[in-house]
Amino acid sequence: LSFPNSRAYSLVDSSQVSTFLISILLIVYGSFRSLNMDFENQDKEKDNSSATGSFNGNSTNNSIQTIDSTQALFLPIGASVSLLVMFFFFDSVQVVFTICTAVLATIAFAFLLLPMCQYLTRPCSPQNKISFGCCGRFTAAELLSFSLSVMLVLIWVLTGHWLLMDALAMGLCVAMIAFVRLPSLKVSCLLLSGLLIYDVFWVFFSAYIFNSNVMVKVATQPADNPLDVLSRKLHLGPNVGRDVPRLSLPGKLVFPSSTGSHFSMLGIGDIVMPGLLLCFVLRYDNYKKQASSDSCGAPGPGNISGRMQKVSYFHCTLIGYFVGLLTATVASRIHRAAQPALLYLVPFTLLPLLTMAYLKGDLRRMWSEPFHSKSSSSRFLEV
């Protein structure tokens, strides 16, 4: 969502461009991180099967959550209930919500930093896990990434800087894209269509019922700093904890304009939900590429040109996401009001995907049939 100033000289400024680039990079990185996790799980399953002499093709990592049709239908309802709770009882639950968000952001940002920490610690330390008793066993890279994440969260709590909040939001986006799966195009359409209705209702029509724009108020309302609340509860004195700022929670990406007169804001739901669709089509592209190589390069349907067959679903959907994001930004600048981004993102991503799947003859398979990528000896993909 973009909140333009009263005198805007261009439809797209530097803050919107930053939002475009960061959101696209997060989706691409999260999608490829998810696919790399699939490869790692397949390698582990292959090792286990060779050791035990049996193979269970349905075994997956317990940390990965696959959304089914029922969950896709009820997710917008649950999101609406959560939004109303935040709207009516924000003063009562803001501290608990801030602490829970900080904990989740810490774990997610540690996951975001883990590949870099693995690269840094590989030459100087073995990959043996260190035991911490009941807490579990962790490698040096995991401990380093978690320590850096905790340090970042503490600095964010003390300063409330928007850049640190954006870093935590990036971690949440990547973790959610990597650990959540859409099994079919039918579930993807149900989820995105329901969230489109949810987004449009709470941005455009909630003011007629609640006399206030519920979505905008919840998204922009800062929360009390836990250090300030703790100092008041413990009666630590008038000067202890009073200098810490109120916190804008990391449920969004914000970027200031070049003049500093306004911030451009994009909710992480507008990144994660299309990102799940991008992750799904990337996995399908990889599955189809492996299937075509196994069939010795069999040609596609006769009514589709070879150039059309070479266009991947991932690139088509990613371009649609960019165009939808650009359209949402232009609409917000023209109407001088917050816009539900999913109103533009869902049609620009789903419609080209459905059209291309129909033309290529993959629509029936993508719609309802689950697919599983085969084990590959290489984890490097041609981008």
Residue 95 included in any domain:
yes
The pLDDT of residue 1 is: 54
Hey, how many other C-beta atoms are within 10 angstroms of the C-beta on 186? 15
Report the range of poorest mean pLDDT among 180-194, 198-212, 292-306.
Answer: 292-306
What percent of the chain clears pLDDT 90, i.e. is strictly above it?
A: 38
For residue 259, name the pLDDT band (cuts at 50, 70, 90).
low
Q: Domain range holding 190?
A: 13-46+63-126+135-291+305-368
The pLDDT of residue 354 is: 94
Whether 272 shows a pLDDT value over 50: the answer reads yes
Residue 296 included in any domain:
no
The pLDDT of residue 41 is: 72
Whether 56 shows a pLDDT value over 50: the answer reads no
Mean pLDDT of 150-154: 94
Average pLDDT over the chain, rounded to an integer: 81
Whether 78 shows a pLDDT value over 60: the answer reads yes
195-238 tens-digit pLDDT: 999 999 999 999 899 888 899 888 888 888 888 777 777 766 55
Mean pLDDT of 332-352: 90
Mean pLDDT of 73-100: 90
Neighbour-count burial of 124, counting CB atoms closer than 10 A to its CB (0-12 exposed, 13-18 middle, 19+ buried): exposed
Hey, how many other C-beta atoms are within 10 angstroms of the C-beta on 237? 9
Residue 173 included in any domain:
yes
Tokens of 119: 């690269």
Hey, how many other C-beta atoms are within 10 angstroms of the C-beta on 81? 10
Mean pLDDT of 111-139: 81
Residue 374 included in any domain:
no
Mean pLDDT of 103-107: 93
Query: Which amino acids are annotated catalytic?
Result: 199, 270
Report the range of poorest mean pLDDT among 119-128, 173-182, 338-347.
Answer: 119-128
Instruction: Say if CB 61 and CB 181 are below 8 A apart.
Output: no
Q: How many distinct structural domains can be found in the chain?
A: 1
Nearest to 194 by CA among 360, 59, 71: 71
For residue 296, name the pLDDT band (cuts at 50, 70, 90).
low
Query: Tokens 């630590």 label which residue?
Result: 236
314-329 tens-digit pLDDT: 999 999 999 999 999 8
The pLDDT of residue 9 is: 36
pTM value is 0.85
Residue 52 included in any domain:
no
Q: Which residue has the higher pLDDT, 129 or 357?
A: 357
Residue 377 included in any domain:
no
Tokens of 142: 């995991």
For residue 346, name the pLDDT band (cuts at 50, 70, 90).
very high
The string of DSSP letters for 79-131 reads: HHHHHHHHHHSHHHHHHHHHHHHHHHHHHHHHHHHHHHHHHHHTTTS--PPEE
Tokens of 4: 């333009």
Distance CA 338, CA 371 (A): 39
Residue 5 included in any domain:
no
- Under DSSP, is residue 264 helix (H, G, I), strand (E, B) or coil? strand
For residue 7, name the pLDDT band (cuts at 50, 70, 90).
very low
Mean pLDDT of 228-250: 72
For residue 302, name the pLDDT band (cuts at 50, 70, 90).
very low
For residue 127, name the pLDDT band (cuts at 50, 70, 90).
low
Residue 57 included in any domain:
no
What is the residue type of 294? Answer: D
